Structure 1
């Protein structure tokens, strides 16, 4: 699979060389769901999934959150309040 087609979570897992089968066993998240989260931008990562993945990888959840949400910004306000 080309890295250009991976989601931010998919890129993170690839960068860390994470085996999705092992991760699935550790987290209880199915390998299908992990694959969907890694390749399908329409599959939204739930906070409990993010937390379980971070625990399994022995990292702080905020590290994964910041990596996955790097492109998320507040919409620009058009009103002057």
Structure 2
């Protein structure tokens, strides 16, 4: 798996060398779901999942949220 194929969450977990099997046991999130969240951009991370992951890897939930949300902006308002 290359860096280009990872989602922002996948990249974050890879950079922190997080073991998904251990993360699954700690959070109750299946390894399949963690893999999907890490490689499939169409998989949407739920708030509860983000919070559980942040608790398990001992980071502030807002730090993880900011990282995975980078680049998200409000749509431009259309002018008449």
Q: TM-score range by the shorter chain?
A: over 0.9
* Regions of 4+ moved over 2 Å: none
TM-score normalised to the size of structure 1?
Answer: 0.95
The corresponding residue for 1:64 is 64
Unaligned runs of 5+ residues in structure 1 are none
Structure 2 unaligned blocks of 5 or more: none
Aligned to 2:48: 48
2:2 aligns with 2
For 2:79 and 2:68, the matched residues in 1 are separated by 30
Task: Kindly report which structure 2 residues correspond to 1:9-28, keeping only aligned pairs within 5 A, or say none.
Answer: 9-28=9-28
